[in-house]
Each structure stands twice: as C-alpha cells, then as structure tokens.
Amino acid sequence: MSVLQPYIADLAQKTGLLLELSPDGSFTALLGRRRLLVQAVDNSEAFLFYMEVGRPTLFRRGEVLASLMGGNLFLAETKGAALSYDAFNEVVGLNLILPLHHLESDHFLNALENIVTAAGEWGRKLEALNAGAEERARQAGETLVFEGDGAAQGASAPGDASPLIRV
C-alpha cells in the first residue's frame, strides 16, 4: 500500500469524490485547466506537491519567465515551495516538498488547499505578465518566425512547433 493512500482516502471522504492512486502510487487530478500531482519522494519520507501554474506566452518568453521566477524570493519563507519551468512541456509549475514526519491528515489537506490556491494566484500573475509582454511585442511590431520556415507567424502559432526565435 502506498504511503499516500490514507491521505487520499481522507481527501475523498472530505470531498465526497471517488479518488484513486495511480499504479505508481501517485495522485493526479485535473483542476480546471491545471494538473495537480502528489507523489511520495525521498524513500517515502516526504510528499511532492506539483501544480501547474500556466504557460508563458511565445512573445518575450524570457522576459516573462525572468519576472515570474523572481517570485521565488517571495516563496523563500514557505519552507520548500518554488516555481519551476518545464521547458519540454512549456509549463510553469508550483512545487512544494512536505515532510511526512508526524504529518497529520489535516496538515496534508491544508497543504493541498494552499498549493491549489497559490498556483491560482501565480497563474493570474503569469497571465498579467503574458498580456504585458504581448502588448509590448505588438507595440514594437514583433512577430514570431519558425526556424527554416521564413514566414512570420502570429501568437496563434502551434505550441508543438519547431523551436522559435524572436525577430
């Protein structure tokens, strides 16, 4: 039995939903448009909470990510929470490591609620940064060009396209 099972059972009881662990012993859920993952780590000594925050814009992505990741300074007092960027999936996430030592169910449920709330707040911040970057790019007349294509593309370019360069 996974070390996560009793906590997920308490969550299921609290929400009234049928919740199950994946075969690898982790818990995933889709909340709105954001993915949540809870997984035991460090030989089941802690839980990793990961919640998607959102996707940075294609325009001025480096600017947006640098500004957003500066928020990690504000997370320094949360004892483990941090923003991260997954370049492969092009998504920003909020991560929290929660030690299992003497972890009561109420503390687990509170941490889960806090990570969902915080990810929503950082998601709104990311949306504002995206909007600002897109507006600055529009004002500067910037467009996206796909390598090898040579044709200008708008912000509606597919997310799985070849690597992009800013022109």
Q: How many domains does the chain have?
A: 1
Tens of pLDDT, residues 129-165: 999 888 888 887 766 654 444 444 444 444 433 343 3
**Average pLDDT over all residues of the chain:** 79
Containing structural domain, residue 111 = 5-142
CATH classification at residue 36: 3.30.1460.10
Q: Structure pTM? A: 0.75
Whether 155 is in a domain gets the answer no
Q: C-alpha distances in angstroms, 8 versus 14, 38, 40?
A: 10, 10, 12
Tens of pLDDT, residues 8-17: 999 888 888 7
The C-alpha atoms of residue 11 and residue 9 are separated, in whole angstroms, by: 5
Whether 52 is in a domain gets the answer yes
Whether 152 is in a domain gets the answer no
The residue among 4 and 77 whose pLDDT is bigger is 4
